[in-house]
Structure 1
Amino acid sequence: MVGKLTRQLLVSTIILLMAGTVLAADPGIELPNDPAVREFSESSDQKRGSVLIFNIYNSSPVNANNENTRINITNGNGYADAFIHLFFIDGNTCNVADAFLCLTANQTASFLASDLDPGISGYILAVATNDLGVPISFDYLMGDEYVKMFTGHFANLGALAISTATDQLIVPSVNDGISAVLLFDGVNYKRLPHVLAIDNIPARADGNDMMMILNRIGGDYSIGASRIGAFFGLLYDDAESAVSYSYIANVCQFRATISNGFPRTTPRVDTIIPTGRSGWTKLWPTGTADNRPFGGASDPIALTGIVINKNNNLKSASNAFSGGHLMHHLTLTPMVVIVVPVFPATC
């Protein structure tokens, strides 16, 4: 009798703990409550900014027709030229290569990943600078990209734009003209996301192949970008039931197909989201960054992400669709620090 009662209490405790995990507030800073400013106050793919993030670029070194990315950047200022420092982050090694792009007033430009950085997959950070390469407030940059992969995934994705919170030079520390510190803290630049969400995950049994791509934003780009590390997530079915999962990604860019292999849940994804049904997920990084002297020794870190769905039944099934979009931002990271090298624009 005592053993049976103990087991019942244990089961009740586990259920309460799981409910607490699911119902607890998401980590990070809540988005502004004012509807007039909520959508455009922080990073978004529907605004202009001084920094752009292209969440994916890739190309095949042997068959660029099959796998490639076209990057498009526009200067939305009708009077001033734009000097743009491009940083190409290798998603696997976290090594960084860079180039400058200069645009006259109202000019737009496009380039292929296969022409600038062939055979590499990662993300691009574009920073507005002056002609000396010092980051400045220039909230007129906008962009998008077309990406196609050898797996058959394809999408047109907007660039994530981050504006500044001041119209002055916003770099708090330039070390003898060698490097500059960019603070995404809501005071210098606007803040970056912390908790991400995919609002709809269709069933794989219906021919869907949804790819998720995550990027860690931060680090010293004169040395190498920071890695994602551990992240935690909750996967919901369409009846509001949730299971948790976790993963450690020792890369700057993590790419996986949502399937029984990832995320590893109990039961597996195909059981949680069977044919004719759908689900959704939210996730966040659990690691920290040492942002001293600008922030704390163990500050939360930022992720950005996209999803691209492929369905080979486009021509034969009315509910089959392919395409992609940026992941939703549920909360914000208090501070992200990026160090970039400073030298005159070469264009």
Structure 2
Amino acid sequence: MNTTHYHTKRLFPFFLTFLLISCGLVLAQRPVQAQCGPLDVAFVIDDTASLGGSLSNIKAELNNILNDIEKASGNDYRLALVTFKDNVTVSEAFATNNRATIAPKIQALFAEGGEKVPEASDEALNTVINMLAASGRAQVGDFTPGFRERAYKMIILITDAVPGGFDDIYTVGIDDVRAHSFAVMAKEKNIKLSAIYVPTYAEDTAKVKPIMQDYATTTAGFYLETAQNGTGTATAIRTIISGCGSTSTTPTVGFGIPSEIKPGSVLFFNLYTSDPAKPNAENTQINLTNTDEQRPVIVRIFWVDSATGIPTDTFACIPATKHINMRASEIDPGITGYAVAIAVNLNGVPIKFNSLIGSSYVKMKTGHSAVLNAVSFAALADQPVEYTEGDETVTMKFDGAKYDLAPRVMNIDNFPSPLDGNSTLLIVNRFGGDLTKQNPVGSFGNLPSVFYNDAEKAVNVNLPGNACQTRNELKDGYPRVIPRFTLQITQGHTGWMRFSSGDGTAIMGATITYNPNSVRNGGKNLRQVALMDLEQYIIPVTVPVFTCS
């Protein structure tokens, strides 16, 4: 079936409040910031006459959009601008921190032409994904350089039309299939493609929307809709930036990526607790295993008190292929917090020993219990810290060069409704800081969050922080959302949430659910969505009082 049709320009009433329709949801709150690390963002924008409202909306909010990108990237970003009608124009290719050059080009965009539907959105994507030159194509300007390997790679597509290549004809079974092939190419290159659909013409939605949704679904990007007149386009862009361009989680295993399913040189335990008066009712058993078949290892464990932020520490020797168990009631009785285990040498200096795994068995008087694997951080350098004899402290850098990167944006991928008798605890921890025992280890700020129900209705909210560890039950009042929690996560339904630390520190965490009348009991670590390369631990250098063999 070939489709070539025409639309006349329409005038839409001015809305007193903006609407953003995301998967059928109206959002009227400003998106939150998320610290993502290095960002490469390519704007691929339909600048035909019917997109005038969207372009005006983007221009009005452009400073806020660019501010979001600077904050989310830690000022390590590159931006590109590609527009399309029935041809493609590369207005700006990627360049380092190029706010000053791309901003006037976006402000100069003018909506005109393109009376025919479809438009060349697919070819614009082809240009960006495959770094195409203009030669031999209906394209102005070369798209080079391409995305950086180490950056979060993001395309934001904005259009109201089906894709039709350069021939201005949309054919079912050809152009939609070709559009999907570009999404697959993006996925293979780890590029997140987010699609913002402007429903200018209601009669086109049945054709356009599935294609736009497929872009997002295939690449784990966002699919968002605006109001019919384009109001909410800027808010949609900011929502995408706030989520680091992706609805998925970071891969669980890979170079520089911390994981609970690999061995490492540093292990992070999200929770320990005990009641010395009733240790059988509330206690934690920490397990550490040395998987190396030949070498023993000394491990230094820091136990961080969530109330004061002050750590204490112990040493342990683990022979090759052996494991040890430690109970919180015997090591740090009556204290609740988190633990960090670090492989060290005979001088107490951190070493590369990527053979440690661990887990914790947590039981609480409230009925909550879980087995939580330790999250492992590998040492990447043969000498992961700089140390000179006599140094009293060393700095462990989680920068993707010395040690794995540190988590900055986290997901609670699923939590049940409290109306079904569920009690879900959310534990959030500061990762990184000062372990010298002279000062509190450090805290994280408030947590800018996006809260979703299982209809993907989203609400922006801040979770209170300013602590080294927070533990709160997910229920009415936490998070404080309107409508309240149980009106959004109703009986028989579930939700999920994404958040980052508002002050840019690294965070980790877990959830533990208890329901005496359900099989849904236990806990799991939070999923990391974005990583950072600026976190560190400062630890005192202390010689162990024993040798290890």
> TM-score if structure 2 supplies the norm length?
0.56
> How far apart, CA to CA, are the structure 2 residues paired with 1:66 and 1:215?
24
Structure 1 residue 114 and structure 2 residue 121: aligned?
Answer: no
2:258 to 43, 67, 71: 43
Residue 70 of structure 1 corresponds to which residue in structure 2?
285
- Give the % identical residues: 34
Structure 1 residue 136 and structure 2 residue 351: aligned?
Answer: yes
> How far apart, CA to CA, are the structure 2 residues paired with 1:334 and 1:313?
43
> How far apart, CA to CA, are the structure 2 residues paired with 1:28 and 1:225?
32
Q: Is the 8 A contact 1:217 1:225 kept in 2?
A: no
Indicate how the Cα distance of structure 1 residues 169 and 32 shifts in structure 2: closer, same or farther if over 3 A, else same.
Answer: farther
What are the within-5 Å matches in structure 2 for residues 1-347 of structure 1?
8-12=15-19, 15=28, 16=232, 19-27=236-244, 39-41=253-255, 42-166=257-381, 168-173=382-387, 176-222=390-436, 223=438, 224-287=440-503, 300-314=504-518, 320-347=519-546
> How far apart, CA to CA, are the structure 2 residues paired with 1:332 and 1:119?
33
From the CA coordinates, give the structure whose radius of gyration is larger: 2
Q: Deviations over 1:271-314 (max 9, x none)?
A: 11101111111110010xxxxxxxxxxxx310001000111103
Q: Is the 8 A contact 1:206 1:275 kept in 2?
A: yes
Does the residue aligned with 1:59 lie in a helix, a strand or coil? Answer: coil
Q: Is the 8 A contact 1:28 1:332 kept in 2?
A: no
Indicate how the Cα distance of structure 1 residues 55 and 133 shifts in structure 2: closer, same or farther if over 3 A, else same.
Answer: same
> How far apart, CA to CA, are the structure 1 residues paired with 2:247 and 2:534?
14
> How far apart, CA to CA, are the structure 2 residues paired with 1:84 and 1:174?
20
> How far apart, CA to CA, are the structure 1 residues paired with 2:383 and 2:240?
42
Q: Is the 8 A contact 1:75 1:141 kept in 2?
A: yes
Superposition deviation, residue 107 in structure 1: 1.3
Q: Deviations over 1:120-166 (max 9, x none)?
A: 00000001010110101000011001000111100011000000112
Task: List, as ranges, runs of 4+ consecutive aligned residues in structure 1 with deviation greater than 4 Å.
Answer: 12-15, 27-33
Superposition deviation, residue 176 in structure 1: 2.5
- The residue identity in structure 1 corresponding to 2:400 is G
Indicate how the Cα distance of structure 1 residues 82 and 329 shifts in structure 2: closer, same or farther if over 3 A, else same.
Answer: same
Q: Is the 8 A contact 1:59 1:113 kept in 2?
A: yes
Contiguous gaps of at least 5 residues in structure 1: 288-299, 315-319
Higher relative strand content: 1
Count of aligned residue pairs for this structure pair: 321
- The residue identity in structure 2 corresponding to 1:152 is G
The structure whose RCO (Cα within 8 Å, separation 6+) is larger is 1
> How far apart, CA to CA, are the structure 1 residues paired with 2:385 and 2:245?
24
Higher relative helix content: 2
Superposition deviation, residue 30 in structure 1: 11
Q: Is the 8 A contact 1:29 1:334 kept in 2?
A: no
Does the residue aligned with 1:74 lie in a helix, a strand or coil? Answer: strand
Residue 290 of structure 1 corresponds to which residue in structure 2?
none
Superposition deviation, residue 334 in structure 1: 2.1
> How far apart, CA to CA, are the structure 2 residues paired with 1:344 and 1:126?
16
Q: Deviations over 1:297-342 (max 9, x none)?
A: xxx310001000111103xxxxx41010000011102221110011
Q: Deviations over 1:80-139 (max 9, x none)?
A: 110111100001210010110111111110010000100000000001010110101000
When structure 1 is superposed on structure 2, of 11-20 and 221-230 the one drifting more is: 11-20
> TM-score if structure 1 supplies the norm length?
0.87
> How far apart, CA to CA, are the structure 2 residues paired with 1:117 and 1:99?
10
> How far apart, CA to CA, are the structure 2 residues paired with 1:29 and 1:340?
35
> How far apart, CA to CA, are the structure 1 residues paired with 2:463 and 2:273?
24
Indicate how the Cα distance of structure 1 residues 154 and 323 shifts in structure 2: closer, same or farther if over 3 A, else same.
Answer: same
Indicate how the Cα distance of structure 1 residues 174 and 120 shifts in structure 2: closer, same or farther if over 3 A, else same.
Answer: farther
> How far apart, CA to CA, are the structure 1 residues paired with 2:245 and 2:285?
33
Superposition deviation, residue 39 in structure 1: 2.1
Superposition deviation, residue 60 in structure 1: 0.5
Q: Deviations over 1:32-59 (max 9, x none)?
A: 99x7xx6233111101000000110000
Indicate how the Cα distance of structure 1 residues 30 and 52 shifts in structure 2: closer, same or farther if over 3 A, else same.
Answer: farther
Residue 295 of structure 1 corresponds to which residue in structure 2?
none
Q: Is the 8 A contact 1:28 1:333 kept in 2?
A: no
Q: Is the 8 A contact 2:431 2:506 kept in 1?
A: yes
Superposition deviation, residue 231 in structure 1: 1.1
